[in-house]
Structure 1
Amino acid sequence: MERQEGPVQRDWAAWHGAYDDPRSALSRRLRSVQQRVREALDSAPPGPIRVVSTCAGQGRDLIGAVKRHPRRHDLVGRLVELDEANVRAASGAARRAGLDGLDVVVGDASRTDAYVGAVPADLVLICGVFGNITDPDVERAISLLPQLCAENAQVIWTRNRQPPDLTPDLCRWFEKHGFQKRWLSPPEERAYGVGAHRYTGAPIPLEPGVRLFTFIGYDTLRNGAPWPQ
């Protein structure tokens, strides 16, 4: 996944530093996502829980949520991240938490090839993605998410709620493609939005070689800078 952000590439490992400030919007978002993950595990039936995380970063959304959860040893799955420094950090965190069923891989999360052998999943995390891609690409990604989902899978997503707030469209697109809303963060928190949807349709086979989205970068989208097609 080639992350396009104009002439200067963001340091995605350093970007995670905001998580360490409990007052930051990113830290508040993280706590909300982690609570949704724990709720998904609480409601999962007995047996293995297969999970995939797209653009997983350092794995804080998932690993931080489950490291003390009673179902943590039921987790199997794959975290996909392009930045090698973040992959090393996530791998170390998973190892220290005893999450032996999780693989953290360097890969292009924007292509379906990254999920071959890891889906259909019971829990899909697509956090930190929708705010970094164009609106049409958000709808495209949602339309293809059923290929990652098992029956009754839960999808947890994030997207900032700065004007114009895309959240109503997001919820409409999820519903259009077979997802039922389970939880949505309150609109008063404008710096971020978190949602959880359940897939109500039948599993759809994964088609390798398909582009899910093109990662542009929030800064480029916000400033209207040109980006390669």
Structure 2
Amino acid sequence: MDRHDWHHVYDDPDSVLGRRLRTVRARIAEALDAAPPGGIKAVSVCAGQGHDLLGVLAAHPRRADVRARLVELAARNAAEARAAAAGLGLGDCVAVVTGDAALVRNYADAVPAVLVLLCGVLGNVADEGMEETVDRVSRLCAPGGTLVWTRNRKAPDRDPRVCDWLEALTERRDG
């Protein structure tokens, strides 16, 4: 699959990904609205072309407060995200790293983040590695931060398990 051309599906607002994008953007806007005054660190894991976060930051009243790090392995997608951020006047507050999202060094100085995005990733992680992925990504969040994640609902539906893992992680960290 061409990871660059795949993103064209977002252009159709009635596609599954177009509808998912609207939902994710709504959650991002809610998280930014609810963030305490001051700086807001945001991280996007496997960010693709940055459609989700950049689409919100373009017009959000807190855009100047945000310092975002988008991590994307595919060089063409990272270049698209970088160009989009610059075109929206976000070049000073959005850093796009072309690199492996699994490497901690790619998040240096960007975590703990008030907002962490894990969108479109879990559907590509084998069942054996999903709980560890959820645990590691949740550690990028600041206390009280927001993790926005998506996963398809195709059988077998893993969403209930992901929710259970996140609840257990929250209880362990808060308790």
Partner amino acid, structure 2, of 1:85: R
Q: In structure 1, what is the equivalent of residue 156 of structure 2?
A: 164
Q: In structure 1, what is the equivalent of residue 141 of structure 2?
A: 149
Q: In structure 1, what is the equivalent of residue 102 of structure 2?
A: 110
Q: In structure 1, what is the equivalent of residue 24 of structure 2?
A: 33
Partner amino acid, structure 2, of 1:138: M
Q: CA deviation at 1:132?
A: 0.2
Q: CA deviation at 1:136?
A: 2.4
The answer (yes or no) to whether the contact 2:24–2:52 under 8 Å persists in 1 is: yes
Q: In structure 2, what is the equivalent of residue 72 of structure 1?
A: 63
Partner amino acid, structure 1, of 2:158: L
| Structure 2 unmatched ranges of 5 or more | none
* 1:94 matched to 2:55: no
Partner amino acid, structure 2, of 1:164: P
1:187-206 equivalences in 2 (<5 Å): 201=174
* 1:23 matched to 2:34: no
Cα RMSD (Å) of the superposition?
A: 1.6
The answer (yes or no) to whether the contact 1:152–1:200 under 8 Å persists in 2 is: no
Q: CA deviation at 1:145?
A: 2.6
Deviation readout 1:44-67 (Å, 9 max, x if unpaired): 111010001000000001001221
Alpha-carbon distance in structure 1 between the residues aligned to 2:169 and 2:77: 32
Poorly superposed stretches of 4+, deviation over 6 Å: none
Alpha-carbon distance in structure 2 between the residues aligned to 1:200 and 1:92: 38
Q: CA deviation at 1:200?
A: 6.3
Q: Which has the larger radius of gyration?
A: 1
Q: Residue 139 of structure 2: SS of its match in structure 1?
A: helix
The answer (yes or no) to whether the contact 2:42–2:68 under 8 Å persists in 1 is: yes
Using the size of structure 1 for normalisation, the TM-score is 0.73
For the structure 1 residues 162 and 75, does the alpha-carbon distance in structure 2 shift closer, same or farther, using more than 3 Å as the test? same
The answer (yes or no) to whether the contact 2:138–2:147 under 8 Å persists in 1 is: no
| Larger relative contact order (Cα-Cα within 8 Å, sequence gap ≥ 6) | 1
Q: CA deviation at 1:175?
A: 0.6
Q: Residue 4 of structure 2: SS of its match in structure 1?
A: helix
1:203-218 equivalences in 2 (<5 Å): none
For the structure 1 residues 112 and 201, does the alpha-carbon distance in structure 2 shift closer, same or farther, using more than 3 Å as the test? farther
Q: Residue 177 of structure 1: SS of its match in structure 2?
A: helix
Alpha-carbon distance in structure 2 between the residues aligned to 1:114 and 1:147: 14
Alpha-carbon distance in structure 2 between the residues aligned to 1:174 and 1:45: 23
